Amino acid sequence: MKKFINILIAMSLTGTLVVPNLSYAELQKPKQIKLQDNQFVTLTFHDVRDDVAKSGDRDVYAISTKNLAQYLEWIQREGWQPIRLEDIWLARQGKKILPNKALLLTFDDGALSSYNRVFPLLKQYKTPAVFAIPTSWINGNTKDAYEAYGVGNLMTWPQMREMAASGYAEFVSHSDNLHRGILANPQQNMEPAAITRQYFEKQKTYETEAEYRSRVVADLKKSKQVLDRELAINSRAIFWPYGAVTAESEELAAKAGLPMSFSLGSVAPLADSVKTYQRALIMDNPTPEMINQEMLEFLNYVRAPYKQRKSFLRFDLAEMQSADNEQFNQKLGQLLDRVDGLKTNTLILKAVSDSNGDGKIDAAYFPNRQLKMQQDMLNRVVWQSRTRIANRVYAELPISLETEQNVDLAMLTADLVKNNSSIEGLMLDTGSMLDCAIGQQKWTPNCEAQVNRVFKIKERSKEQAKYYANISNNYQTALKVNLEKTQLDGLKPLLDYTLEYADFLYVELDPIQQPEVFNAFVKQLKTLNEKEQQYLIASFNVQTPLSTQQVKQLKKSYQQLRSLAIQKVGVNNYSFNLAKVIHQNFYPELSLNSSPLNYRDPFTQKVLEKK
């Protein structure tokens, strides 16, 4: 069970790409990987066994000894240059230039196979590697280790000293005791200890800022002290368990004497331009050709997330309000089951509400310092959405909180992300504040001032969010606008302006009630270049009931967007009441399933069980 939780944590927090099932001919096509100066690729391995299954092994992180040996031979043949951590440290300080096609090989957790299988291969191929050690595992905290690798399957300090003396092995911290989940919310979710504010069930309170920072610093200091004493080294790096790291925890590591920080995600950071480097997680026992393909995928797409196809469902958390946790979990299971059946990949959750109906936002669904907490449920919905159905999640806040109600939106965003570090991003509903910009190609001074105000609020909020958000995610923002007029001459200039400051522009449309607005929008789409198209999200309001003709009209509208290269579409008002209509009528337009034959109708099959 513990290992299952670990896999969920790692998978939910990383930017790991699944290696596609390509034909042998496709894998053999010549492909070039070009790196910038001081750029390097980092690969993360775990256990190495002789008996790993070609697919479907009990350990998704394991690689066979044969495949690893073939990969070490492959990198020599293909001209890759294995580097040491020390090389990156010197390059970071401007004292060294990394070789072309620099490659850092890393092995996590201190499994015994690192000594009896990996180490002999490193000596045979004269290849250095880095080993990340959870020091408490080696020193007797064996419960988690045994559940991960079995009894007697960890390295000993004498074995590691032998490896370090060879010159082929460097050792870094994998924390002392942060390689575990801790209680993260009242609904009992376990989340990464390094970036989670622990929830204390008896007191019904969360860890304070001071308590969290003290706990993490103490753990990392202990880990460094143990490594340095046992191996006679000066360890400088922390390889974060599950890749879970924020800018805040990065600072805490530096205070603990570990200035080099590695998460999971992109494989090709620049040694001298970032603090936390990202590593590609090797899974499913890949061959050398498959690893090469994964490296290509990361290099081509991870640094350009706007190119990825996304299908959005926007959902109001007010529908999840419940009398108790049992009722809440039933609603959550129903929501996740339906979204999973549709196979969309991105949820937008409206995270605040007008609880008394006076037209003003006065409550939130997460702990914060400015609004009352209506119900503490955002964290659980975000976490379950990521771990159970692999959906990325944005939280939505209205900009009117600051412009009309004097709420500090940056502070509110900080509180939101602090308790939801695995969130994908933030969407700000701009209301009518950008209407003047959308309606005219040349903005008046008053309009430009209003646009600038929106972006200043967004930038302050994003700065706070990125301090607490997991670095392994590509944290993004979106600005939401509702198109209600046919005069859209300013859409392209606004989108160009947005590209400098935000990640996406989210456009709300109603092709049934306002077909003339949708037609004007389509006309504007034809003027956009490829990059502008990729930063645009188009989402429809779907009414019920729908006539047969209205269904056809909406389907045609979705198809028009696809024909104009809009890769991000969605439903702006997804709800429990609308779900059946949406699933039955718009599955082909919204689903990211590779084939309609894979469709699972959530209205005729069992709801996902609580996990």
- The β-bridge relationship of strands 372-373 and 392-398 is unpaired
Classify 102 in phi/psi space as left (phi over 0), alpha (psi -120 to 50) or beta. Answer: beta
Residue whose entry in the numeric block shows the structure tokens 């905290």: 141
Q: Which two tokens stand for residue 498?
A: 């947005």
For CA atoms 536, 297, 300, 563, give the dihedral sign. Answer: negative
Residue 135 lies in a domain: yes
Residues 461 and 378 in one domain: yes
More confident residue, 193 or 605: 193
Task: Say if residues 195 and 215 touch (Cβ distance below 8 Å).
Answer: no
How large is the average pLDDT for residues 448-475?
93
Query: Which helix (H) or strand (E) covers residue 589, if one does?
Result: helix 579-590
373 alpha-carbon distance from chain centroid: 26
> What pLDDT band is residue 596 in, cutting at 50, 70 and 90?
low
d(CA 264, CA 258): 17
- Please check the confidence at residue 293 and state whether its pLDDT lies above 90: no
Interval 303-317 mean pLDDT: 82
Instruction: Report yes or no on 214 lying in a domain.
Output: no
pLDDT, residue 47, reads 96
Which helix (H) or strand (E) segment holds residue 190: the answer is: strand 190-192
Instruction: From 465, 447, 464, 462, select the one nearest 502 (Cα to Cα).
Output: 462
Beta strands 181-183 and 190-192: pairing type?
antiparallel
Q: What is the reported pLDDT for 501?
A: 83
Does 575 lie in the same domain as 433?
yes
Q: What band does 119 get if pLDDT is binned at 50, 70 and 90?
A: very high
To the nearest 10 degrees (0 to 180), the angle between helices 579-590 and 325-342 is 30
Identify the H or E element spanning 254. Answer: helix 247-255
One-letter amino acid for residue 608 of the chain: L
Domain-located, residue 44: yes
Assess if residue 591 is contained within a domain: yes
More confident position, 152 or 564: 564
- 514-544 as b/e: b if 16+ CB within 10 A: beebbebbbebbeebeeebbbbbbbbbbbee
pLDDT of residue 29: 44
Provide the percentage of residues in the chain whose pLDDT is more than 90: 77
What is the reported pLDDT for 300? 61
Q: Are residues 312 and 277 in the same domain?
A: no
438 with 556, same domain? yes
pLDDT at 605 over 80: no
Residues 288, 319, single domain; the answer is no
Please check whether residue 609 lies inside any domain of the structure.
no
Pair 45, 90 in one domain: yes
- Domain end marker among 302, 331, 361: 302
State how far the Cα of 141 lies from the Cα of 219, in Å rounded to an integer.
14
Both 587 and 517 in one domain: the answer is: yes
d(CA 535, CA 501): 12
Mean pLDDT of 85-97: 93
Looking at every residue in the chain, the average pLDDT score rounds to 90
The three-class DSSP label of residue 545 is: coil
> Mean pLDDT throughout 466-495?
92
User: In CATH, what number is assigned to the domain containing residue 118?
Assistant: 3.20.20.370
In this structure, the chain runs to a length of 611
From 282, 302, 322, give the residue that closes a domain: 302
Using the CB atoms, write b or e for 254-282: b if 16+ within 10 Å: bebbbebbbbbbbbbbbbbeebbbbbbbb
Mean pLDDT, residues 574-583: 95
Residue 156 within a domain: yes
Tokens of 604: 């005729």
* 279 and 367 both lie in a single domain: no
Give this prediction's pTM.
0.89
Number of H helices, E strands in the chain: 23, 26
Residue 230 lies in a domain: no
Assess whether 331 and 275 both reside in one domain: no
CATH number for the domain harbouring residue 353 = 3.20.20.80
Report the percentage of the chain scoring pLDDT > 70: 90
- What value does the mean pLDDT take over residues 361-368? 97
Where a domain ends, among 258, 277, 302?
Answer: 302
Give yes or no for residue 603 having a pLDDT over 90. no
pLDDT digits (tens, 9 = 90+) for 316-352: 999 999 999 999 999 999 999 999 999 999 999 999 9
504 pLDDT more than 70 = yes
Provide CB contacts within 8 A for 512, sequence distance 6+.
Answer: 543, 546, 550, 553, 554
In angstroms, rounded to a whole number, what is the distance separating the alpha carbons of residues 562 and 437? Answer: 25
The H or E element that residue 521 is part of is helix 515-525
Range of the domain at 52: 2-8+38-176+235-302
Query: Is cis: bond before 545, omega within 30 of 0?
Result: yes
Clarify whether residues 288 and 326 are in a common domain: no
Report the pLDDT value the prediction gives residue 266, as an integer from 0 to 100. 60
Question: What three-state secondary structure class fits 48?
Answer: strand
433 and 529 belong to one structural domain:
yes
Whether residues 383 and 295 share a domain: the answer is no
Residue 216, pLDDT score:
98
| 215-260 pLDDT per residue, tens | 999 999 999 999 999 999 999 999 999 999 999 999 999 999 999 9
How sure is the predictor about 11, in pLDDT bands with cuts at 50, 70 and 90?
very low
Looking at per-residue pLDDT, the higher value among 29 and 298 belongs to 298
Distance CA 428, CA 457 (A): 10
Q: Domain for residue 283, yes or no?
A: yes
Work out how many domains the chain is built from and give that number. 2
